[in-house]
Amino acid sequence: MKRAASSKSDNKPYTGILAQPMPKWTILTGPTGEELAALIDEKFRALFAHYKIEPAGAMEGGPETAPSWANLAFHLARDHVPGFRGAPRRRGKPAMRKDDDVTLVLHVELLKRRDGLSIRKAIKEITAQNIVQGTEQTLHQRYKIAKENFVMLSHLFDNIATAKGNDALVHVMEESLSGDNKDTFLSPD
């Protein structure tokens, strides 16, 4: 006997009467109308039980008939119709924010504001000076992801540059990024 497809939501395969196909009948061996109705009724009761839906409300009429059948229809659609499932999980390891992402973003901001470099050229300079580990391509991808997390910081820098002037902002950024080691590529020539 062949097992039917498993339920995606429960990861439980159909068992018992739900795993058995309908019998093959001929005109001579066909069931009576009552026998066929009883078999279908039994299979529906088993299907309701499979999804942990009370079959009595659906099978015996009453106020629970429509909600019970709608609930069963939803479970079946979710398990067997791709349009009712959630988006597929993306492959690969999820990207994680690295500790030095803030360093990368701050250095790019400084080079953009002080030297007028594009993001790509700033990252090339950061890579050449080995300020943040990684290839240009890797750092560029990390910057694109990290800058979304630091949008408020960029707005803060814009506000400071407007209030105090770009030179004052650049000076503060240079001081904070260079620390005690004043002789870095970040120091003005």
Q: pLDDT tens digits, residue range 124-176?
A: 999 999 888 889 999 999 898 888 888 888 888 888 888 888 888 888 888 88
Of 84, 111, 136, which residue constitutes the final position of a domain? 84
Return phi, psi of residue 16, to 5°: 60, -135
- pLDDT of 146: 85
Let me know: does 110 contact 171? Beta carbons within 8 Å: no
Tell me the pLDDT tens digit for each residue of 103-118. Answer: 899 899 999 989 999 9
CA distance 115 to 123: 13
Q: Quick one: what percent of the chain has pLDDT higher than 90?
A: 15
Number of domains composing the chain? 2
pLDDT(90) > 80: no
Mean local confidence (pLDDT), 61-67: 79
Residue span of the structural domain in which 140 resides = 101-178
- Give the lowest-confidence range in 5-9, 74-78, 129-133: 5-9
Q: Are residues 22 and 77 in the same domain?
A: yes
Q: Are residues 80 and 106 in the same domain?
A: no
Over its C-alpha atoms, the chain yields an Rg (Å, rounded) of 33
Q: Quick check: is 95 in a domain?
A: no
Q: Quick check: is 6 in a domain?
A: no
Of 24, 49, 84, which residue constitutes the final position of a domain? 84
**Element containing residue 162 per DSSP (H, E):** helix 151-164
Confidence of residue 78 (pLDDT cuts 50, 70, 90): confident
Mean local confidence (pLDDT), 39-63: 85
Q: Indicate the average pLDDT of the chain.
A: 81
Q: Quick check: is 184 in a domain?
A: no
Q: Quick check: is 185 in a domain?
A: no
**Element containing residue 145 per DSSP (H, E):** helix 136-149
- pLDDT of 91: 81
Going by C-alpha positions, the residue among 118, 115, 125 that lies closest to residue 173 is 115
Confidence of residue 4 (pLDDT cuts 50, 70, 90): very low
pLDDT(6) > 50: no
Q: Are residues 133 and 173 in the same domain?
A: yes
pLDDT(10) > 70: no
Of 55, 84, 113, which residue constitutes the final position of a domain? 84
Q: Are residues 30 and 70 in the same domain?
A: yes
3-state helix, strand, coil in the chain (%, to 5): 60, 0, 40
Q: Are residues 152 and 115 in the same domain?
A: yes
